[in-house]
Amino acid sequence: MINYPNRKSVNHSKVINYSRRGMSLEEDLNLTNKYYLEVDRAVIYKKPTPITIVDVDYKSRSTAKITEAYFQTPSTTDYNGIYQGLYLDFEAKETSSKTSLVLAMIHPHQLEHMKKILNHKGIAFIIVRFSYYDETYLIFAKDLFEFINSTKRKSIPYSWFKEKGILIPYSYQIKVDYLSVIDSHIVGGKI
Amino acid sequence: MINYPNRKSVNHSKVINYSRRGMSLEEDLNLTNKYYLEVDRAVIYKKPTPITIVDVDYKSRSTAKITEAYFQTPSTTDYNGIYQGLYLDFEAKETSSKTSLVLAMIHPHQLEHMKKILNHKGIAFIIVRFSYYDETYLIFAKDLFEFINSTKRKSIPYSWFKEKGILIPYSYQIKVDYLSVIDSHIVGGKI
C-alpha cells in the first residue's frame, strides 16, 4: 500500500500531488466510471462529443476516415446513467481559479436540461474541481439554481462551494467517488 | 386534419406511405424525442456518434475544424434518458428484410450493456422497424435475451416480432410513440 500524502494540505504536498496525478477531472471521472462499471455498482458513461460530420472518405470501407467535421455545442450534460434504479445526470467542470467558477462555463441549455431532469425525478448535479486546491465538489442542481436565482453574479465564489458543495472523497482506486456523496444524501430516491 | 391511409394495409397504400414519409427510423425517433421534450413528457436523447479525433485545425478559433477522425464501435446503446423517474435505455434498428432481423446488427457489448441496465432496475428495450411492412416493434430486453438464450439462430424471424414484440403506434404528431407502449406495460416501475 503506497502512502499517499494528504491531498488537502500544505503547498509542497500539493506540488507532489500534481506531479503524482497529473490527471484532469475528465480522466479521473472516466477511471471512476470504469471502476463503477467493473464492480457493477452503476452504469454511467460520458456522452461522446457531439460533432457535425461534413465529409467522410470511404476509400477503405473498414476504416472510413472523417475528413471534415465541426464541434457542436452540447445540448445536454456530459454524463448520465443509472444507479440503484435512479437516473443520474451531471456536468463536470474544472477551474484553475483560486476564487471562483465562471458561470458561463455551464451553458444555459445545460442548466435547462438539468431543470428538466429534476422535474422528471432524476438526480442532477455538477462536479467542480478547483485544481489549485486539488478539491472536487459535488453541487446538487437545486443548490446551483438557488444560487443563480438569488444573484446577478457571473461567477460562483469558492467560499460558496465550501459552504454548499460536498467535498468528494478521493482514493487511489476511486478517483472521484461521487456515488458515496449520492449515497449519503439520498433518502427514498430523493435528494 | 389530413386523412392518412392505414399504415398496415395493401401495397398501394404502402407505396404512398413511403413517398409521404420517406423518413428513417432514426429521423422518426429524433422527431418523437423532440416532441416528448417539447411537451415535457420525457427527456430522452440519442447519444452522439462516438469518434476518435486524430487531428484538428485550430486556424480559426471559433470554428475548429476536425480534419482527421474515425468512427468508434459504440459501447452502449444509442438512446437513453428519463421518463417518470425511470431510466430508459434502448437501441433502434431498421431492416429492409421481409423475413428476419440479423442478430449481428446488435453488437455483443450493446447486449451486455442492456443486461447491466436491467440489473440496475432500468427499462431496456430495442425498437425494430421492418421497413417493408412499415411496422415498428418494441421488444423488451428480457424477451430478447430469452430468444437469444434459447436458440443458436443468427437472426430473429419476423414471426417472432409479431408474437413477442409490441407494435408501436404511429401518429402524425408522434412518429414512434414508444412511451405509450411503456405506459401500458409498466406496473410499479417494472416491466
Distance CA A118, CA A116 (A): 5
Within 10 angstroms of residue A18's Cβ, the number of other Cβ atoms is 12
Lowest mean pLDDT, pick from A56-65, A118-127, B30-39, B162-171: A56-65
Neighboring chain A residues of B76 at a CB cutoff of 8 Å? 45
Domain ranges of chain B: 11-185
Distance CA B189, CA B191 (A): 7
Neighboring chain B residues of A38 at a CB cutoff of 8 Å? none
Neighboring chain B residues of A110 at a CB cutoff of 8 Å? none
Q: Which fold has domain B11-185?
A: Trna Endonuclease; Chain: A, domain 1 (3.40.1350)
Judged against a pLDDT cut of 60, whether residue B5 lies above it is answered with no
Phi-psi region of B189 (alpha: psi -120 to 50; beta: other; left: phi over 0): left
A103-158 pLDDT, tens digit each: 999 999 999 999 999 999 999 999 999 999 999 999 999 999 999 999 999 999 99
The owner of cell 496525478 is A21
Per-residue pLDDT, averaged over B7-15, amounts to 40
Q: Give the number of C-alpha atoms closer than 13 A to the C-alpha of residue A173, restricted to the C-beta side.
A: 6
**Helices and strands counted in chain A (H then E):** 6, 10
Within 10 angstroms of residue A178's Cβ, the number of other Cβ atoms is 28
Distance CA A41, CA A112 (A): 28
The reply to whether B79 touches chain A by the CB within 8 Å rule is: no
Compare CB distances from A63 to B64, B70, B83 and report the shortest one's residue: B70
Name which residue leads in pLDDT, B188 or A139.
A139
A90-118 pLDDT, tens digit each: 999 999 999 999 999 999 999 999 999 99
By the 8 A CB rule, do A128 and A139 touch? yes
Per-residue pLDDT, averaged over B140-154, amounts to 95
- The residue in chain B having the minimum alpha-carbon distance to the alpha carbon of residue A115 is B43
* The pLDDT value given to residue B22: 64
Distance CA B97, CA B133 (A): 9
A51 beta partners: A71
Distance CA B80, CA B91 (A): 9
The distance of Cα A190 from the centroid of its chain, to the nearest Å, equals 20
The reply to whether A18 touches chain B by the CB within 8 Å rule is: no
* The pLDDT value given to residue A74: 85
Q: Are strands A135-140 and A166-167 parallel, antiparallel or unpaired?
A: antiparallel
Name the 3-class secondary structure at A184.
helix
Distance CA B94, CA B175 (A): 15
The reply to whether A153 touches chain B by the CB within 8 Å rule is: no
Please give the angle made by the CA atoms of B150, B156 and B160, to the nearest 5 degrees.
85
Per-residue pLDDT, averaged over B37-59, amounts to 94
What percent of chain A is predicted at pLDDT more than 70? 87
Torsion (CA) B181, B184, B187, B190 in degrees, nearest 10? -10
Question: DSSP assignment, residue B58?
Answer: -
Mutate to test the interface with A, among B59, B120, B186 (most CBs of A within 10 A): B120
The reply to whether B8 touches chain A by the CB within 8 Å rule is: no
Judged against a pLDDT cut of 80, whether residue B68 lies above it is answered with yes
Please state whether the predicted TM-score (pTM) of the whole model is above 0.90: no
Q: Give the contacts of A151 (CB within 8 A, at least 6 positions apart).
A: none
Q: At what angle do helices A108-119 and A141-149 cross, to 10 degrees?
A: 120
Judged against a pLDDT cut of 90, whether residue A60 lies above it is answered with no
Neighboring chain A residues of B47 at a CB cutoff of 8 Å? 47-48
